[in-house]
Structure 1
């Protein structure tokens, strides 16, 4: 039979790990759990004190991002998550930033999807 892939989004690593254990019991072929971010990089390497005035941009202060250059800094500062200003657009922050990727046998695909939904995943 053919293999099927599944992308499932969770709110916490613990939630994803619990679902992964159930998928392993089901006989998953391959499985990986990752956290993804809207922005590149791993965050700041040192904490900054806003009182010192050594702030490169609003995004550095509010999003916890290392400076990636003046061009991208302008775009990061304009994001609603950095500034808090919005025109009421349809951008929704869901908090589902944990991605569980699984490969399962086609015969177990629907069973795996049901299992992930019961575990609280967005599939």
Structure 2
């Protein structure tokens, strides 16, 4: 698989925005008909619903910090994996390994799937 510098930069920017809980950034990089799946949460479709789901998740934690171990590009898909460290609202910590698959369509993400066990949150 070949890694594109632009894809690496965009994926890194996405995770920096998520760590900032920056819903406005998500609104810029997600497509109108985006499909979103986070762990065992129900899948959500459509930009408005996905942004609302992210707002809800962001408000359920104090903070998070992602470390990306690797990023791959295959055609219009980006795959990455790493570790995320959470701080719960009660200030306790939880870490999880994750993998994400993004599908890009016309410069925006139209399929965003995060595979992680976040049941400990």
TM-score, length-normalised on structure 1? 0.22
TM-score, length-normalised on structure 2? 0.22
- Higher share of residues assigned helix: 1
- Higher share of residues assigned strand: 2
Structure with more relative contact order (C-alpha pairs < 8 Å, separation 6 or more): 1
